[in-house]
Each structure stands twice: as C-alpha cells, then as structure tokens.
Amino acid sequence: MVFELLINFCILFTFAVLSYWPFQDAVRSNFPFPKTHPYIIGFMAGLAGFILLETSVRLSDTILLDGRHVVIVISGIFGGPIAPIISGFIIGVARMFMTDEFTTTGLLAGWNIIIMGVVIGAFSFKYRMNFKNAHLYFYYATAQTALLIIYLTYPSMVVLSQVLYFVIYSAFSFFTVLFILIELNEHFKKIRHTELLSETDYLTGLYNNRKFHQLTDTYINDSTKPFSMISIDIDSFKKVNDIYGHPAGDEILKQLGKRLKDLVSESEGYVTRNGGEQFAVFIANSPPAMGLYLGERIRSSVASTPFLVSDDQEVSITVSVGVSSYPDNGSTIQALYSAADAAMYEAKANGRNRVIHFTNKKA
C-alpha cells in the first residue's frame, strides 16, 4: 500500500509543479493568453485527478484512497475560483464512471467532488485562495470527504482506521506539496529581484544603462522606421545638493524619474537613468520633429513645476536636453546616444534650460 500511495503522491506533486511553473508571475516563462489560464489549470487538475483515481489505493470495496481533493485545492491556488469548479466536475464525473455500472458509492463520491469544487470556487470568488489561506479550504475538503467515508462505512468496525488513513495521507500530501510550492515561490521571487537589480537603477527604479542598451539594440536591429534618442541632464545639480543636501537631491532624482515615466509610456519607448543627474529617453517611431516636441515637453514640465522635498520645501530646477534621430544622426545606438549627448552639452553651453537637436548643433 505504501508504494501505491507514493506513486499517487508523485502524480499529485508533478501536477502541482507543472501548474506552478508556466502560470506564475514569479517565474521567467510567460505563458500566453492569460485569460485562459484558470481554464487550463482546471483541466490539468481534472486530468491529474483522473490519473490519481486510476492509481488510488483500495481500502475496502467502497473506499478509495488518493489525493483527488488535494489537487482541487491546489488548482484553486493557481487558477482562482474557476479552476476548482472545472477540476471538481471532471474528477466527479470520472469517479461516477470508474466502474462498468453505476453504484451508489460511485455516485455519492462523484457528487462529493463536484459539490466540493463548486463550494471552493464559490468561496474563492470572495476570499481569493492563496498560500496563506489554502489550508482552510483543505480542511473543508478533508472534513466533507471524511464524513462521506463515515457514512459509507458505518457501522463497520474499520471506519475509524479508514478515516485515519485518509486524513493522514491527505494532510501529508497537501502540506508537503504546499511547503515545496512556497519554497519555490520564494526562490523565484529572489531570482526575479536579482534580475531587477541587474537591470534597474536602485534609486529611481528606471532601467539602468545596461538594460537600456539591450532594449534599444534589439529595436535598431529589427526596425526600419525613424526613432529619436533624448539625453537629459539636470542643470547645476551640484548646487542643489550643496544648498538642500544630498537626501533632497535623491528625492528630486526619484521624482524626475517618475515624471519622465509619466511622459513616456512603455508602448512609446524607454526611460533610463545613466548615472548621476543624467537621464536618457528612447522614443520609437519618432522622426526629428517628434523628438524635439517630446524634449520640449520634458524641459517645460521640469521648469514649470517645482519639486517637493522633505519638510515641504519646493525646489525649482531646470534641465538641458539634447535630441538625435535615426537614421540622420547615426546608424547605431552608440552613435545616436553620443549625438544626443553632444547636443545636450551644447544646450548647456548656450545657457541651459533649452532643447537642441543634433542636426541643429553648431559645428
């Protein structure tokens, strides 16, 4: 019996990992069509439950021991309210048709699973299942099934041992799988956090220079349309730090990063902090005129709206902006970035708080 239960548990564990890996945000793969995920997970859980039924351990002529109700609870963690309803229906119908002819036990066991899936799904709509509260749904499923076992075997003397076997195996299966899944979840969160640290600026949350070049290099290799590069530098930022202190300077950098992200959506382009008080913006499908227009919007937004720092102090700053465009000012990201940088330094040399396109730069 132990060997058969081990096989049953391995099937349950395999389903849990397979349903976790492609469908969770913390992992690196992004399974397409997210709206279909609850239905896919529900179907996967139903299939897993069917296999669990086929590998169940027969405790008596009427009682089968397996992890079918555990798989329904696990599906609710990953698939939301829809998944337990679908999996419960599939497993319940499979239990009714396990034998060549209908039996009262099969019908009751099948309806038990169907009702269980519906109840778990219904409560999940209001109380979304997660790793923290899944045990409550498991207790309900275990208690309902244990009562059915008692009803089917009473007044047999073996009823207590059968219920005990069921509760022990169910608890072992559920809490072992749950523990492994929680550990996997934490592991992938740490991986994702490390990845984010390697591609984002710690202060502003914007892309760092390395990630920025990765994204823009991919774009220039795949696109034949014009685009613009914008280089932005805060004017006299050292003076700001000297007057208001470095913590206030950091707050200004954060707020400027947020303003830039608000002005440039992810569908339009990318924003990066390249270090210190210098930022860059990449705008897709943007000819020179559009690059200049956005550069002016950035400049005027910064100049017209002060930055609020600690102690409710308002700090006014300005930025110098340089713009370059593909293909007029370069055929590589490095060339375009250098051109935008050169235009930005000319804006500084001409009095700061202005926008210059590299094409209009004085030789």
Where residue 26 falls among pLDDT bands split at 50, 70, 90?
very low
Q: Which residues is 308 bridged to in the sheet?
A: 314
- Nearest-Å Rg of the Cα atoms of the chain is 31
Q: Quick one: pLDDT at residue 101?
A: 66
Annotated domain spans of the chain: 2-199, 209-360
Q: What is the mean pLDDT of the chain?
A: 87
Q: Quick one: pLDDT at residue 217?
A: 74
355 pLDDT exceeds 60?
yes
Q: Quick one: pLDDT at residue 103?
A: 82
Under CATH, which number does the domain 2-199 receive? 1.10.1760
Residues of the chain with pLDDT > 70: what percent? 93
Q: Same topology for domains 2-199 and 209-360, yes or no?
A: no
Where residue 27 falls among pLDDT bands split at 50, 70, 90?
very low
- At the topology level of CATH, where does 209-360 sit? Alpha-Beta Plaits (3.30.70)
Beta strands (DSSP E) in 201-309 are 227-234, 269-275, 278-283, 307-309
28 pLDDT exceeds 60?
no
231 pLDDT exceeds 90?
yes
277 pLDDT exceeds 80?
yes
pTM, two decimal places: 0.64
The active-site residue out of 277, 296, 314, 346 is 277
Question: Is 277 assigned a catalytic role?
Answer: yes
* Averaged pLDDT, 14-27: 68
How far is CA 159 from each of CA 144, 163, 286, rounded to the nearest angstrom? Answer: 15, 6, 75
Q: Quick one: pLDDT at residue 25?
A: 53
